[in-house]
Structure 1
Amino acid sequence: MSYANNDVAKSFKALHVPGDPIILTNVWDCISARAIGALPSAKAMATASYAVAEASGVPDSELTLETNITAIRGISRIARELKKPLTVDFQDGFGDNLEEGIREVIKLGVVGINLEDYGRELLDGKGDLYSIEQAQDRIRRVMKVAVEEGVPDFCINARTDTLVVGRALSEAIERGKAYLEAGANTVFVWGGKERGGTSRAEVEALCKAFGGRLNVSLVKIRPGGLTVKELSDIGVARMSIGPQLMLKSQAFVAQEAEKILSGEL
């Protein structure tokens, strides 16, 4: 019997409103899940795979389905206890384990995922973007499992790495539209740290192209990012912060420990 139910999925989907977006402050373990999930202002919970991987002692590129599921299992218990919808970062779907993994997280109560179009095992393990048709097929396969598990309103936030691999914004728009057509609820166009993320002009173009069904990374770890108000005014439907809270908490713990170890406290 699945812990997830379509009422929870519907309530989560309803939070994605262009111009009045859902804001997700991503978690990575049970401690962060309880701290964030207990906040009345946290309307839903989300994981970030980079942070989950770091908390598990491996780089994001080596996060396995099993390790991800282990983290999700504990976080999902807290989400159910706090009665908060939970969406999880599912990377590229873990290759051929896509359906198996989706079925398992739905049974844990998860009502949405991030699904990337950058396949880590493509091109002899070097990684590359799935073709648009392949990426659409993977979205449809996820939704087929969700329907079978009784959660037809399961939410897919389809991430495209088009800009990160050096391709044009026009392709990101083409891919995003195709992913929405295939059943995704929103699209996340990752700008990447190396290129400085996505510019305001890019966010505006993407938001217009997708009818507001856009997820944007809210940059809080360094100055210069667009604010919640600015992104809301542009009309996005969803904001998230990825591993930024984990990185900031890591630095805080190190600073406090150094004060204790050096005799300052």
Structure 2
Amino acid sequence: MTLKEQAVTFLGLHQPGNPVILPTVWDAWSAKLVQEAGFSALTVGSHPLANSLGKEDKEGMTFTEVTARIREITAAVTIPVSVDIESGYAQKPADLINGLLDAGAVGLNIEDSVHSEGGRLRTPQEHADLVAELRQAADTTDVHFVINARTDVFLRQDTGNPAERLESALTRLRLAAEAGADVLYPVGRHDPETLRTLCTDLPLPINAIGIPAEANRAALAESGVARVSFGPFLQNALTEHANTLIAPWR
């Protein structure tokens, strides 16, 4: 498939109540593992990618390092690839879109914590404006690049009590939807009621975190989730298993 066809296919996989499962990978080996297991698409996580490069998450990598690894991944598989680009590595939106397309990706996650500025949280409108710039840049190409707008408010302790965090997430993600996002990502592990509220009250498909060992796809589907990714948890589980295997050889 061309990148244009991959992007259309990828977006079409996002079905509320019938979520696409995107195992989160970090290199060509893990990407091939996912494709050979029969998954329809995958996502590249910043945390496992940084670990694989001996770097720190929260933009311890450069965008050049990220795109170099993405090229290796897209050369190894034929399914659509989306990339967690953290808060954008202080790059211009057009450079992010063009760099990822050149590397063979058809989607991205963009978060509202700005790691290059001490981890501050963008204002809701500021984050929406960045999403709008990414959409505008993508629209100059012939690929409908799939933009997954993420908010970190549930992960932070400086954003109020649980009810205030939920309201803040709803506000931020509604603005991101109006700005041109395709998918909304209220990152964090949520109780069923909160997740159902997010899926019901927001106007676009919702991305939720899945824990590989828990295999709760049915419960996430029942909540209305349209997309499930694993964050660092697949790599963490494999690390744990590898340690178990090699421990007797010490």
| TM-score, scaled to structure 1 | 0.86
Greater CA drift, 70-79 or 45-54? 70-79
Contact 2:107–2:146, Cα closer than 8 Å, also in 1: yes
Structure 1 runs not aligned, ≥5 long: 192-196
* Residue 115 of structure 2, aligned match among 120, 145, 153: 120
Greater CA drift, 84-93 or 159-168? 159-168
Contact 2:173–2:184, Cα closer than 8 Å, also in 1: yes
Per the alignment, residue 247 of structure 1 pairs with: 236
Tell me the distance in 1 between the aligned counterparts of 2:76 and 2:70.
10
Per the alignment, residue 32 of structure 1 pairs with: 30
Per the alignment, residue 79 of structure 2 pairs with: 84
Per the alignment, residue 134 of structure 1 pairs with: 126
Name the SS of the counterpart of 2:153 in structure 1: coil
Per the alignment, residue 6 of structure 1 pairs with: 4
Per the alignment, residue 51 of structure 1 pairs with: 48
Per the alignment, residue 194 of structure 1 pairs with: none
> Counterpart of 1:47 in structure 2: which amino acid?
V
- 44 and 237 in structure 1: CA distance in 2 versus 1, 3 angstrom threshold: same
Tell me the distance in 1 between the aligned counterparts of 2:201 and 2:32.
36
Q: Give the CA deviation at 1:6.
A: 2.0
Name the SS of the counterpart of 1:95 in structure 2: coil
Contact 2:80–2:105, Cα closer than 8 Å, also in 1: yes
Contact 1:116–1:159, Cα closer than 8 Å, also in 2: yes
Contact 1:4–1:111, Cα closer than 8 Å, also in 2: no
> Counterpart of 1:247 in structure 2: which amino acid?
N
Tell me the distance in 1 between the aligned counterparts of 2:204 and 2:178.
14
Tell me the distance in 2 between the aligned counterparts of 1:105 and 1:178.
24
- 4 and 100 in structure 1: CA distance in 2 versus 1, 3 angstrom threshold: farther
Contact 1:4–1:108, Cα closer than 8 Å, also in 2: no
The RMSD of aligned alpha carbons is: 1.8
Tell me the distance in 2 between the aligned counterparts of 1:258 and 1:70.
33
| TM-score, scaled to structure 2 | 0.91
Tell me the distance in 1 between the aligned counterparts of 2:204 and 2:132.
22
Q: Give the CA deviation at 1:212.
A: 5.8
Tell me the distance in 1 between the aligned counterparts of 2:33 and 2:46.
18
Name the SS of the counterpart of 1:158 in structure 2: strand
Name the SS of the counterpart of 1:188 in structure 2: strand
Per the alignment, residue 201 of structure 1 pairs with: 193
Tell me the distance in 2 between the aligned counterparts of 1:164 and 1:253.
29
- 23 and 139 in structure 1: CA distance in 2 versus 1, 3 angstrom threshold: same
Name the SS of the counterpart of 1:60 in structure 2: coil
- Count residues in correspondence: 243
Per the alignment, residue 135 of structure 2 pairs with: 143
Structure 1 segments, 4+ long, off by >3 Å, are: none
- 22 and 118 in structure 1: CA distance in 2 versus 1, 3 angstrom threshold: same
Greater CA drift, 92-101 or 127-136? 92-101
Per the alignment, residue 96 of structure 1 pairs with: 91
After superposition, the C-alpha distances for 1:151-192 in whole angstroms (9 at most, x for unaligned) are 1x211111101122232210100111111111111111122x
Tell me the distance in 2 between the aligned counterparts of 1:44 and 1:213.
16
> Counterpart of 2:118 in structure 1: which amino acid?
K
Taking only the aligned residue pairs, the percentage that are identical comes to 27
Per the alignment, residue 230 of structure 1 pairs with: 219
Contact 2:48–2:235, Cα closer than 8 Å, also in 1: yes
Per the alignment, residue 174 of structure 2 pairs with: 177
